[in-house]
Amino acid sequence: MDLSPETILSFLCLTIASLALITSSKSDVDDDEELVTRCNRGDSEAFNQLVLKYQKKVFNVAYRFVGDQEEANDLAQEIFAAAYQNLKKFRGDSKFSTWLFQIATNRGKNRFKYLKRRGFFVNKSSHNNDDDTEGYQRVVPDHTTNPENILSSRQIQKVVQDAIEELEPDHKEIVILRDIEGFSYEEIARMLDLPEGTTKSRLHRARMVIKEKLKKVLS
């Protein structure tokens, strides 16, 4: 089986993109709007439903930023707390999911910078164990048909995650939003307040950086 950097990146992008086509619908948007309205009227159960709906994806984003389950759990809780506190500021100009992941990305980038300043990733890399690799399995969707199932390999997932962790924050966030979570260029541009052209060029540069890192590891 070809495990070249080009193959890994191609399957990563194509598989996530195909998932994105089937995970968003008008009914989802309508449901979110109704839940937000109920929550703003004082219905706390409505927000609990939003948390249940998005907790896996928010954790996924958090994990991709920090590469550690405990830190990702804390970060995910912080993201939902920030969303709850600012929910009245959501005006419906974009989908709730877009607004939520804008918060997730901002918080994730800030937490990554904070941990990096404290030497967290250097210390973490010297204490990796089998428990860490299990986290990669839980974060990434399970694809069981060839050749997509190479993405479920713990070894490959660790290589990809390590490469993502080493990206600069501006590149990291775009790779996570586009190649991991499958958001459109338009949605990402809105989240990050960037022109679509800048979004695409940053993603291209980030993919090239990952590709070079994968070459070094897999050669």
The yes-or-no verdict on residue 19 having pLDDT over 70 is: no
Structure tokens at 159: 């290589």
* Residue of 161, 154, 159, 183 lying closest to 57 (CA atoms): 183
pLDDT in tens, 143-164: 444 545 544 566 667 777 788 8
Mean pLDDT within 93-119: 91
Mean pLDDT within 195-214: 89
CB 101 within 8 A of CB 183: yes
186 vs 28: which has the higher pLDDT = 186
The CA-atom distances, in angstroms, between 185 and each of 33, 98, 167, 189, 219 are 22, 12, 19, 6, 32
Mean pLDDT within 84-106: 91
Q: Determine the pLDDT at residue 3.
A: 57
The yes-or-no verdict on residue 91 having pLDDT over 90 is: no
The yes-or-no verdict on residue 130 having pLDDT over 70 is: no
Mean pLDDT within 71-97: 93
The yes-or-no verdict on residue 140 having pLDDT over 50 is: no
Mean pLDDT within 211-217: 79
Most confident of the following: 42-46, 73-77, 152-156, 169-173: 73-77
Structure tokens at 104: 């997730």
Distance of CA 20 to the CA centre of its chain: 13
CB 146 within 8 A of CB 7: no
The yes-or-no verdict on residue 218 having pLDDT over 80 is: no
Residue 129: exposure state from Cβ atoms within 10 A (0-12, 13-18, ≥19) = exposed
pTM of the model: 0.73
CATH code: domain of residue 87:
1.10.1740.10
The yes-or-no verdict on residue 200 having pLDDT over 90 is: yes
Q: Distance between terminal CA atoms of the chain?
A: 15
Structure tokens at 153: 């390999």
The yes-or-no verdict on residue 180 having pLDDT over 90 is: no
Q: Structural domain tally of the chain? A: 1
Q: What percent of the chain has pLDDT over 70?
A: 70
Residue 134's pLDDT band, with cuts at 50, 70 and 90, is very low
| Spatial separation of the C-alpha atoms in residues 48 and 104, rounded to whole Å | 17
Domain hosting 160: range is 5-218
Mean of the per-residue pLDDT values for the chain? 79
133 vs 65: which has the higher pLDDT = 65
